[in-house]
A and B are shown apart, each in its own frame.
Chain A
């Protein structure tokens, strides 16, 4: 009996446009899971992801589907991480497929990040199937969205599929389109094994489980295998498919999507984008597109209570098992003690990691403000990479500082263009290009035309400028309508200086920031003022100073507290009085001590607010 034909596809969608709901419908419609067993949104398995509405961990589910012609198909739905920070991971998921469903909310239209992923999919020659979802909504305007898609991506109108993942309307047609429009995998079963790793997860019994797309050849349990970039050999403990749980199979063959249990203990060995081959002497050409994971954003991470350092260290080791993209390395700060400098793929990634550490590992942490990685050319011709502002070499040693720049895409309704422009230019951004996403004011709801016209704006901007409050600012300026996507473009020299903060006369390394020279004095003033408001009054006056290159640019004082005493004695309720004091002591414990000044954790994030008044 010949193996059933295969179709491999991803879903590209903006957050909340219905990717998870649609995946669930597909799993149900193909009988992969019983509707009764359906915990809502099976693919998003982590609680945090569900809460944030994003998928971090890609999964690849195998479905069986009998098409209209009676033919049985194997469909592999490869989930993609749903955020801009994970664009490399997205590109590898896309590389594992021959087609992608482009799911767009019928009420909201296409978003910047989706468009970025569309471009990624087009680069890889994927067959794109436009799916307009949520057509059951009253506010849906499917024709307008269809026009937009036709305009921006170049679809023809009869290509559009109209679906409601909620009601199930259009799901059959969608399955048929997947079978008809997405090409079968190319690849040679008879060639030596080449499998693309597009994700991994850790299992305490099976070691690192590689999620793979077999491009050529086949792989079975017990096979002796090799990871190309990592240069690691291992014996496959098991191979199988996600159905949707792990289901062992005798082998995976060219075109298949599934998993290989490696037995390896180091997640860092099983890298997204790497090629898995047989361990023999014959070495086929590795698959194209491998890239070392690149951290874009860095922050110091310290236990709120220094006795928890070991717990933090253990937590990071464990966290890395489920997120191999984090990097970290021990560092110490005079202000904060022993901790780590962590690198993240992007801002959201950083937020997720911070939240997981606090929520899943119950750690109380102090984070320093995020920083980018600077390139510093020293006067002796060397180049240093600086990701911790306090480690910037002294000015006389610096020949040039370069900072990373990104290109950003913003999609926004037309009337907010001015506001967006201002947000970008006030952050040293440069306008590059603007494109209307619709030729005319086509709109659903019979509504007024203008606000439906959306534009795509492209800018170049230093990464450090969008690290802090840029996205929030963008959202508020556009009443929540703007969407954002960014890609690293390279390094450019800049006039940057280190801004130091002194509390009670002592420089606090964890509060240092690298800022643009023209803004250093005003940033210093704002930061000092912010700290004055964040630092509680102590038993003595606490001077706060901001300094640039040893020159004081701002000075504030937190006045000594004058009164802190409980008035009453609670009618003999001494236990209550003691508990109250114990609670206050707990609160005080969470403060960090710099010299003899107690500083709340939020103060270390004050640098974040540097651009705000």
Chain B
């Protein structure tokens, strides 16, 4: 018998060929020699979770990184076999693997397919050679296109491509050319991210040193609006802030995050949310491997000894998470459900929701609260006020120009 609440599984592969300047993911460019030990550790971690996850049906698996496509087909097969051995994986589960164009080959893709992967998410980022160089990417536009053909040839019918806009000195033309070409390839799913300068990255250092000037926010806003219109016209649904999909091709794994479902994270630096706890696994691959070689059992009764930070989700956090994640989705959130589940916390933020409705940042259809296009563009303005409702002035003085 299985619980109705869906469960997702995330497996983190911490290896990359080079480290991109903007990247703050838990990935390392010089640790590939650890991949054998990493695999053994991850296999063991999956096994340790099996008892705890018993009775829950795994609906999605996401092998992310880093660059999972650096792994061979048989390594992925061992991972997924273990997953199926230790968890109840739904027969129609979505199983995604992240790839970078330069490590894609038709053989590997066939291997992944045979192992059970049914969705590939590839980091294309841009098709402009200067932009690719700026981002430290190893591939060319031609390689990206060829990689997509190889993925298709291996039988994948569900493919996502990642793109990045809002680069320093971003010109609208280069973005338009990239997007037009990619749209012509008809991927089932597109993620279009505005470049974020993350702390402690080489990019942040270059910005701080004045060597790189961040893109004009108005230009970025312009591009975002155009992108949404263009992709909608091309038949993609803008179902989340940065995500677009053809009908029925939304990423079920990410949807589960945004809907605050449970997920188990395995591998160095992975995050999980399970039974009212949020946790993270130790980030350093060597430490991860070492810890999994030790006795079983992690903190707070969680099964993995590599789990490091644990946070119990308070009522308030649960509500804030539900709102700040759910409102990124076009579908929005079910207000009545939230009010029923977190009545006290809900009362605290009610005036913020009213303000968002009053100022046309949000709209309500029956019990469903969703953001307007304007609300989506400035969503953080709503979210900070949800996080700290005292930021909002009393309703009477509010007026919008």
Q: Give the B-binding residues of A (Cβ under 8 A).
A: 504, 539-542, 560-569, 571-575, 577-578, 581-582, 584-586, 588-589, 593, 595-596
Which residues of B sit under 8 angstroms from A586, Cβ to Cβ? 388
B258 contacts A by Cβ under 8 Å: yes
Partner among B273, B325, B377 whose Cβ is within 8 Å of the Cβ of A565:
B377
Interchain CA distance A599-B221 in the complex, whole Å = 23
Partner among A563, A567, A584 whose Cβ is within 8 Å of the Cβ of B384:
A584
B372 contacts A by Cβ under 8 Å: no
Whole-angstrom distance between the Cβ of A598 and the nearest chain B Cβ: 9
A563 in contact with B387 given A568-B193, A573-B280, A574-B273 (CB within 8 Å): no
Interchain CA distance A588-B385 in the complex, whole Å = 9
A575 in contact with B384 given A566-B196, A588-B391 (CB within 8 Å): no
Interchain CA distance A578-B388 in the complex, whole Å = 11
**B193 and A567 contact, CB distance less than 8 A:** yes
Interchain CA distance A567-B125 in the complex, whole Å = 14
Which residues of A sit under 8 angstroms from B270, Cβ to Cβ? 571-572
Within 8 A of A (CB), among B40-65: 64
Partner among B222, B272, B381 whose Cβ is within 8 Å of the Cβ of A539:
B381
Whose C-beta in chain B lies nearest to the C-beta of A504?
Answer: B401
Interchain CA distance A565-B327 in the complex, whole Å = 11
Could you say which of B29-37, B206-214, B316-324 contacts chain A? B316-324
A581 in contact with B387 given A564-B378, A572-B10, A574-B273 (CB within 8 Å): yes
B383 contacts A by Cβ under 8 Å: yes
**B397 and A563 contact, CB distance less than 8 A:** no
Whose C-beta in chain B lies nearest to the C-beta of A557?
Answer: B401
**A566 and B380 contact, CB distance less than 8 A:** yes
**B380 and A565 contact, CB distance less than 8 A:** yes
Partner among B272, B309, B401 whose Cβ is within 8 Å of the Cβ of A572:
B272
Whose C-beta in chain A lies nearest to the C-beta of B361?
Answer: A539
**B257 and A569 contact, CB distance less than 8 A:** yes
Within 8 A of A (CB), among B379-397: 379-381, 383-385, 387-388, 390-391, 393, 397
**B257 and A572 contact, CB distance less than 8 A:** yes
Whose C-beta in chain B lies nearest to the C-beta of A574?
Answer: B321
**B265 and A588 contact, CB distance less than 8 A:** no
Which residues of B sit under 8 angstroms from A581, Cβ to Cβ? 320, 324, 380, 383-384, 387
- Give B256-283 as 1s and 0s: 1 = Cβ < 8 Å from A's Cβ atoms: 0110000101000011110000101000
A562 in contact with B217 given A571-B64, A573-B280, A574-B278 (CB within 8 Å): yes
**A564 and B381 contact, CB distance less than 8 A:** yes
Q: Give the A-binding residues of B (Cβ under 8 A).
A: 10, 12, 25, 64, 193-196, 217-218, 220-222, 224, 241-242, 254, 257-258, 263, 265, 270-273, 278, 280, 309, 311, 317, 320-321, 324-325, 328, 359, 361, 376-381, 383-385, 387-388, 390-391, 393, 397-401
**B399 and A596 contact, CB distance less than 8 A:** yes
Which residues of A sit under 8 angstroms from B311, Cβ to Cβ? 575
**B324 and A578 contact, CB distance less than 8 A:** yes
Interchain CA distance A593-B392 in the complex, whole Å = 10
**A564 and B380 contact, CB distance less than 8 A:** yes
Interchain CA distance A593-B400 in the complex, whole Å = 15
Which residues of B sit under 8 angstroms from A564, Cβ to Cβ? 377-381
Which residues of B sit under 8 angstroms from A565, Cβ to Cβ? 241, 376-380
Which residues of A sit under 8 angstroms from B195, Cβ to Cβ? 567
**A584 and B271 contact, CB distance less than 8 A:** no
**A585 and B387 contact, CB distance less than 8 A:** yes
Interchain CA distance A191-B12 in the complex, whole Å = 91
**A568 and B196 contact, CB distance less than 8 A:** yes
**B359 and A567 contact, CB distance less than 8 A:** no
Interchain CA distance A560-B359 in the complex, whole Å = 14
Interchain CA distance A568-B273 in the complex, whole Å = 18
Which residues of A sit under 8 angstroms from B317, Cβ to Cβ? 578
Whole-angstrom distance between the Cβ of A590 and the nearest chain B Cβ: 11
**A563 and B221 contact, CB distance less than 8 A:** yes
Which residues of A sit under 8 angstroms from B64, Cβ to Cβ? 571
Interchain CA distance A586-B376 in the complex, whole Å = 22
Whose C-beta in chain B lies nearest to the C-beta of A593?
Answer: B393
Which residues of B sit under 8 angstroms from A577, Cβ to Cβ? 324-325
Whose C-beta in chain A lies nearest to the C-beta of B243?
Answer: A569
Which residues of A sit under 8 angstroms from B257, Cβ to Cβ? 569, 572, 574
**B359 and A539 contact, CB distance less than 8 A:** yes
Interchain CA distance A578-B387 in the complex, whole Å = 8
Which residues of A sit under 8 angstroms from B241, Cβ to Cβ? 565-567
**A574 and B325 contact, CB distance less than 8 A:** yes
**A596 and B193 contact, CB distance less than 8 A:** no
A578 in contact with B321 given A564-B381, A567-B193 (CB within 8 Å): yes
Interchain CA distance A567-B383 in the complex, whole Å = 14
Which residues of A sit under 8 angstroms from B391, Cβ to Cβ? 585, 588-589
Which residues of A sit under 8 angstroms from B381, Cβ to Cβ? 539, 561, 564
Partner among B263, B278, B378, B390 whose Cβ is within 8 Å of the Cβ of A561:
B378
Which residues of A sit under 8 angstroms from B359, Cβ to Cβ? 539
Which residues of A sit under 8 angstroms from B258, Cβ to Cβ? 569
Whole-angstrom distance between the Cβ of B267 and the nearest chain A Cβ: 11
Whole-angstrom distance between the Cβ of A577 and the nearest chain B Cβ: 7
**A571 and B271 contact, CB distance less than 8 A:** yes
Interchain CA distance A577-B328 in the complex, whole Å = 13
Interchain CA distance A168-B204 in the complex, whole Å = 51
**A588 and B321 contact, CB distance less than 8 A:** no
Q: A562-B378, A572-B257, A585-B388 given. 14 additional CB < 8 A pairs?
A: A539-B381, A542-B401, A560-B401, A562-B217, A562-B221, A565-B241, A571-B64, A572-B271, A581-B380, A588-B384, A589-B388, A589-B391, A596-B393, A596-B399
Whole-angstrom distance between the Cβ of A261 and the nearest chain B Cβ: 47
Whole-angstrom distance between the Cβ of B146 and the nearest chain A Cβ: 27
Which residues of A sit under 8 angstroms from B400, Cβ to Cβ? 539-540
Interchain CA distance A568-B265 in the complex, whole Å = 18
Interchain CA distance A542-B400 in the complex, whole Å = 10
A571 in contact with B25 given A563-B220, A566-B380 (CB within 8 Å): yes
Which residues of A sit under 8 angstroms from B25, Cβ to Cβ? 571
Which residues of A sit under 8 angstroms from B378, Cβ to Cβ? 539, 561-565
Whose C-beta in chain A lies nearest to the C-beta of B193?
Answer: A567
Whose C-beta in chain A lies nearest to the C-beta of B317?
Answer: A578
Which residues of B sit under 8 angstroms from A561, Cβ to Cβ? 217, 378, 381
Which residues of B sit under 8 angstroms from A571, Cβ to Cβ? 10, 12, 25, 64, 270-271
**B401 and A540 contact, CB distance less than 8 A:** yes
Which residues of A sit under 8 angstroms from B401, Cβ to Cβ? 504, 540-542, 560
Which residues of A sit under 8 angstroms from B361, Cβ to Cβ? 539
Whole-angstrom distance between the Cβ of A406 and the nearest chain B Cβ: 41
Which residues of A sit under 8 angstroms from B399, Cβ to Cβ? 596
Interchain CA distance A540-B400 in the complex, whole Å = 7
Whole-angstrom distance between the Cβ of B309 and the nearest chain A Cβ: 8
Whole-angstrom distance between the Cβ of A611 and the nearest chain B Cβ: 28
**B265 and A572 contact, CB distance less than 8 A:** yes
Whose C-beta in chain B lies nearest to the C-beta of A563?
Answer: B221
Whole-angstrom distance between the Cβ of A507 and the nearest chain B Cβ: 15
Interchain CA distance A539-B399 in the complex, whole Å = 11
Whose C-beta in chain A lies nearest to the C-beta of B64?
Answer: A571
**B217 and A567 contact, CB distance less than 8 A:** no
Whose C-beta in chain B lies nearest to the C-beta of A571?
Answer: B64
9 shortest interchain CB distances as A-B pairs? A562-B221, A585-B388, A563-B221, A540-B401, A572-B271, A567-B193, A565-B379, A564-B380, A567-B194
In the complex, 10 of the A-B residue pairs with CB atoms within 8 angstroms, ordered by the A residue number, are A539-B381, A561-B217, A561-B381, A563-B224, A572-B272, A572-B273, A577-B325, A585-B391, A586-B388, A589-B390
Which residues of A sit under 8 angstroms from B254, Cβ to Cβ? 569
Whole-angstrom distance between the Cβ of B179 and the nearest chain A Cβ: 16
**A567 and B196 contact, CB distance less than 8 A:** yes
